[in-house]
Amino acid sequence: MSESSLRIETKLVHAGEPLPRILGAVEMPIFQSATFEYGGEGSYHDVRYLRTNNTPSQLALQAKIAALENAPAALVTASGMAAISTTLLTVLSAGDRLLAQSCLYGGTHDLMNRDFATLGLAVDFIDADRRESWQAQLRPTTRAIYVEAMTNPLLQVADLEAVVEFARAHGLISIIDNTFASPVNFRPIEAGFDLSIHSATKYLNGHADIVAGVVSGGAELIERIRHKANHLGGSLDPHAAFLLSRGLKTLALRVRYQNESTLRIARFLEGHRAVECVHYAGLESHPRHARARSLFAGFGGVLSFELKGPASRADEFAARVRLPIVAPSLGGVHTLLTRPATTSHAGLAPEERARLGIGDGLLRLSVGIESTEDLLEDLERALR
């Protein structure tokens, strides 16, 4: 049975695990060793050392991630931002430009907006839903196009198929941050993207106890990114690699449950008289519901909504819920609630937030794996 023919549930458990098993161990041991005996390696990047991303804990995890994404190769990094920054600094050189979706994860947006200029890089932000507008933004020095599977916090779904076609037509490297979908709901490499990135801090690990990142893609490109990572130094520690590998084993179970639970909660909120609007690609009312349905196997565990009345209602609501923890981040076993205007998007001017459609009273819910009934009862009580 070839590994690539296996379904994702099976790959999550078995892919990348060493055979023969090490001393018969059913679980991959943690290789907590900074350096390894010299074995005749000819290049700096092949010397077995934790920073060069080629020690047993890292290699096993990288093989598992590549299998999940159906990609030839993968690299694990010390955080999602390490994966993003290392990837972008590999595919872009001084003088190059990047086309990037306008509504990006805050850390990524700040990297492009604040740090790029000092490195001689430039970014042109695009409306990733309007393919006809991209050509005008293209310059001879544009090298890559960068999007997210679903945007935060409004859960917009860009024209991802058009991104792949546009990149191919213009010789750009297509890069997607697939964090919100996870490989259970969407596998970008199968859809034709060159590189797929995750903050493994979120769904992949799923337990809110480490930060980590991954990037998957073609072997040559991933090797170039690994060499850059070896220089920049954002490598993943073996103990975190073990936790990520352990978390991954239940990814399919968690994400499918979260897909279902979140859809039920989205429908409940949409039908509640205290709720003004709900953003979730699984709802028929979502403007890109049909596209999301054709691209994704499920709509994920994050939704956002606004209550009727003044924005202060959002804080009152957050103070009343018992199960959701008011905390940033997403994709874990705990249900988390945030108010983007005062957390992830607090850095933007109010007019800028309004332009992006992020109301001051908007609440974002990352649904965990608690009982859906308990969550619904808690939300109902808080709304009342």
Ligand X SMILES: *Cc1c(COP(=O)(O)O)cnc(C)c1O
> Do residues 177 and 108 lie in contact, with contact meaning Cβ atoms separated by under 8 Å?
yes
Gap between the Cα atoms of 332 and 205, Å rounded: 8
Q: Is 217 helix (H, G, I), strand (E, B) or coil?
A: strand
Smallest distance, ligand X to C-beta of residue 330, A: 6
- Which residue of the chain is nearest ligand X when measured via CB? 80
CA-closest candidate to residue 124, choices 137, 140, 141, 107: 137
The Cα–Cα gap between 270 and 290 comes to 18
Of residues 56 and 77, the one with the C-beta less far from ligand X = 77
**To the nearest whole angstrom, how small is the minimum distance from the Cβ of residue 112 to ligand X?**
12
List of residues contacting ligand X (CB under 6 A): 79-81, 105, 107-108, 148, 152, 177, 179-180, 199, 201-202, 211, 213
Task: Classify residue 80 by its DSSP letter.
Answer: H
Nearest to 247 by CA among 329, 131, 332: 332
| The pairing of beta strand 325-326 with beta strand 336-338 | parallel
Query: What's the closest the beta carbon of residue 135 comes to ligand X, in angstroms?
Result: 27
Residue closest to 196 by CA, chosen among 329, 42, 74: 74
Annotated active-site residue 202? The verdict is: yes
Shortest spacing between CB 79 and ligand X, in angstroms: 3
Q: Smallest distance from the beta carbon of 44 to ligand X, in angstroms? A: 26
Nearest Cα neighbor of 182 from 157, 200, 159, 207 is 200
Name the catalytic one among 96, 159, 177, 194: 177
177 is catalytic: yes
CA 107 to chain centre: 12
Contact 54, 48 (CB under 8 A): yes
340, 153 Cβ separation under 8 angstroms: yes
For ligand X, the closer CB: 307 or 363:
363
- Among candidate residues 49, 64, 105, 339, the one labeled active-site is 105
Question: Active site residue: 51, 267, 288, 293, which one?
Answer: 51
Which C-beta is closer to ligand X: that of 123 or that of 382?
123
Least Å distance between CB 76 and ligand X? 12
Among residues 202, 226, 353, 364, the one annotated as catalytic is: 202
Cα 339 to Cα 360: distance, rounded to the nearest angstrom: 8
Residue 89 is inside which H or E element, if any? helix 80-91
* The pair of three-digit structure tokens given for residue 3, joined into one six-digit string: 């590994």
Which positions are catalytic? 51, 105, 177, 202
